[in-house]
Structure 1
């Protein structure tokens, strides 16, 4: 059964993006040295029973108090100077509200000051390029000395330029502050050093961040969480593939925590928070539901947070000033090949849908490319092995890879250069991720209705992308309306999230089906009213 599907535009998706979860994460399952329960494989699927008729309207659950046994972070105070070492960690608005850290990268008092945060905080979410020396879309600031008990001592510094910002294979931004190291030192604010190596898995670590307030927790100043470092993993979240991330169980990671530092035993920064796993079972590898690429395939872990390593980043600074071309700088800077995935991010394999296509465009001196493709869990774009021979873009402007018939993730890696023998190193590859998805949305659907009126009943539908992305419905006399018949279904405008059915003058049957982003259609749910 094929029905109409409303797939939101990519711009609309980005407008709602929050890589670090909103809301209370008190129910998070902490990791212990990287071992986490509640794995949800991408291909897990339980065939639904057809024609599930849910109960009538159910009152929502009452407010549930947080579990006191769950680890919490502590709000930091500095009136007595006890936390002076954290004065260089503050609230960034660039323009997203995140956490940023003043860096200690050497140089004299006249050296420029830099702050480190997550790349997605600049709202430049492209997965196929990095930005250097780019002016922010609107003037920003970082507020240091961001303690709850010294509000009058807060110190705001303007930010207009990101020296580096990228979500291509990483999630980091280095902000140029409109001040000097010496001026901040005079204000009692010192930078924090970058670590030279990551701690061992299982090590005790610290997170200091400035998450936003929630309904249950109005405090939004600096807070400290004590946690454990998990394993290094490859991570996928929607369009982004991060081949080197570290898991952690730091408490109360939520909106505003993005960019907050993970500190080792010496107090040096070795990673910055970039995302966390929400309990959203229908959004595997999607926004707010990152998945780890394990040998058996993608897997998700509720409540686990992830950070991007920055150990060794000090090599990108010379005499206190950023130099992305400096020897040993791990940031992959410079232009990369102009590419675009022609096919959709989510695809349903069929006899007529068998390939993934990535198009290449000759620009900025790039005339040739090399490419490879394979399962995301076993294909590393940074590895030179597996790339095909160099091809001229003009002669072969589209790279095609087979679309697997089994559910899972495939990555296409492309890298370019000005000649066949001058292709950029694999560190500059662009990764395009595609999900093969032949699994229909499962029943019961996230659909509910109000208590019926005398001759009408109002329904509500919840969008849970990418699984429950669109809905169609039909209604008619109960005796003659067949929910299995695709004829007669009408599109439900999910922007409003509701529709009303009126009585047919007797028993009335209502049918609803859901569609996902791969155009799989669910079995129908049905109700009978006005009997």
Structure 2
């Protein structure tokens, strides 16, 4: 996921250009949909509704990493602010565990409110106390408790943002307020506007996201993650900005920072699109100003805990291979795990939504040191493993269980060698050569090389190749021609055909 971790534009002079939007109810300040994001300076207190949005630094140890976050209204309709202050941000800003819910973890970072243009010397800093709950399993949300009370921030004039209790409809006008990087000359909150373009299930690396909002608001960049996505009329939070395809190449779709949409079992890249995790349901989890995910009204995802096998690293990309007789060999899930329930059921499907159906799940099996090793395929595309925990063989598949499984993804590529190596080779002043491999997941993942006298080295001979992980490799000058042999490997460990380059003395 992208960590989404100037001249001042006076919005008072911007005309009302959003169709059907009146000045009295336009929190977009007249900004035209899909136009460039504008910095907010809060002159004459005109941007006071966004004093509650700030720049989040989750950890003291990583001051270079920041997200955006917003103070949320935890009073649930009560006029009394009796609990601590909570902020809402993206789950990936504080946790990278794609399989589990993270909770009750101390944090030592801070958030700076009043992060307006020209006001960086007077921002209001609040220390973080603990990560209350974070998930990147299906959703991308985190709730953080501050080391202060909500009332203390209200006393300082910061009004929290309310979380909507209604799902936004397609075409609803949105605004996004956050702190994107890339504006070091004029750091500030920035406002952008765009319509909601529907929803999509996403795959990004090992993360499977369901029902994310899609939109094309401008100005999204590293640091924008966690920004509140707001209904333009009510200024209520409808989602939290998660990821984007801005600047993404088609060849990298479904990889880190390059989310792809899941369409009938096939990966689809939607260019220049941003996605946000819906916030619907979060408001039901606050009782008397305190976050309580166990409240009967709370509709958050379950806390089913999965532990992967020792030293196992998930790889969501594999390839169909051919044996010595040319017969198809399908990859397997090879998924070792344990759950905190005694039993589990599973099934393989082509879209994450199919996990919600109770049909075709396996019989209950032991969930301690379990292994799912079924074959995957045969068609190229995306496959999803749905895993639910059960307490007994007779436990019925309740709707809550079906809504919140662990989902494991794998993309299957057709058989064949991976792409040929792509190298930039430059002659140096001393007669040597600088070799720069082009890396591009999932197909150009690892390079191997060998070199030697041009008349003796055979690139077709598999012996002698060694992996090279540096971005630049130096080959010293020699008095006679050299041959450089290279192979590329994809993330399924499939090799390319060898490439041969002749290096003259």
Give the TM-score, by structure 1 length: 0.79
Q: Does the CA-based 8 Å contact 1:373-1:401 persist in structure 2?
A: no
Residues 291-370 of structure 1: pairs in structure 2 closer than 5 A: 291-295=260-264, 297-339=266-308, 344-350=315-321, 351=323, 354-361=331-338, 364=340, 366-370=341-345
Aligned pair 1:254/2:221, yes or no? yes
Aligned pair 1:407/2:402, yes or no? no
Aligned-pair CA distance for 1:121: 0.8
Distance in structure 1 (CA, Å) of the matches to 2:116 and 2:416:
49
Aligned-pair CA distance for 1:87: 0.3
1:476 to 1:302, Cα distance in 2 relative to 1, 3 A: same
Q: How many residues were matched structurally?
A: 455
Distance in structure 1 (CA, Å) of the matches to 2:352 and 2:83:
44
Residues 388-399 of structure 1: pairs in structure 2 closer than 5 A: 388-393=362-367, 397-399=370-372
Distance in structure 1 (CA, Å) of the matches to 2:227 and 2:440:
28
SS of residue matched to 1:450: strand
Aligned pair 1:220/2:195, yes or no? no
Match of 2:114 in 1: 145
Aligned-pair CA distance for 1:358: 2.5
Q: Does the CA-based 8 Å contact 2:91-2:134 persist in structure 1?
A: yes
Q: Does the CA-based 8 Å contact 1:210-1:220 persist in structure 2?
A: yes
Which one of 442, 457, 460 corresponds to residue 419 of structure 2? Answer: 442
Match of 2:99 in 1: 128
Match of 2:392 in 1: 419
Aligned-pair CA distance for 1:506: 3.2
Distance in structure 2 (CA, Å) of the matches to 1:99 and 1:378:
29
SS of residue matched to 1:381: helix
Offset from partner CA, 1:115-158 (integer Å, 9 cap, x none)? 10000111x2111110232223xx02111111112234311111
Aligned-pair CA distance for 1:454: 5.4
Distance in structure 1 (CA, Å) of the matches to 2:332 and 2:102:
31
Q: Does the CA-based 8 Å contact 1:92-1:100 persist in structure 2?
A: yes
Distance in structure 2 (CA, Å) of the matches to 1:498 and 1:169:
38
Distance in structure 2 (CA, Å) of the matches to 1:21 and 1:111:
30
Distance in structure 1 (CA, Å) of the matches to 2:187 and 2:442:
31
Q: Does the CA-based 8 Å contact 2:319-2:331 persist in structure 1?
A: no
Q: Does the CA-based 8 Å contact 2:164-2:280 persist in structure 1?
A: yes
Aligned-pair CA distance for 1:481: 4.1
1:296 to 1:408, Cα distance in 2 relative to 1, 3 A: closer
1:343 to 1:82, Cα distance in 2 relative to 1, 3 A: closer
Larger displacement relative to structure 2 (98-107 or 398-407) = 398-407
SS of residue matched to 2:105: strand
Aligned pair 1:473/2:449, yes or no? yes
Q: Does the CA-based 8 Å contact 1:373-1:379 persist in structure 2?
A: no
Match of 2:150 in 1: 181
Distance in structure 2 (CA, Å) of the matches to 1:302 and 1:451:
37
Structure with more relative contact order (C-alpha pairs < 8 Å, separation 6 or more) = 1
Distance in structure 2 (CA, Å) of the matches to 1:439 and 1:199:
45
Distance in structure 1 (CA, Å) of the matches to 2:370 and 2:48:
56
Match of 1:530 in 2: 504
SS of residue matched to 1:247: strand
Q: Does the CA-based 8 Å contact 1:342-1:357 persist in structure 2?
A: no
Distance in structure 1 (CA, Å) of the matches to 2:163 and 2:313:
40
Offset from partner CA, 1:339-375 (integer Å, 9 cap, x none)? 557874332333566421333436x4x2111111122
RMSD: 2.5
1:141 to 1:439, Cα distance in 2 relative to 1, 3 A: farther
Match of 1:61 in 2: none
Match of 1:204 in 2: 173
Q: Does the CA-based 8 Å contact 2:81-2:289 persist in structure 1?
A: no
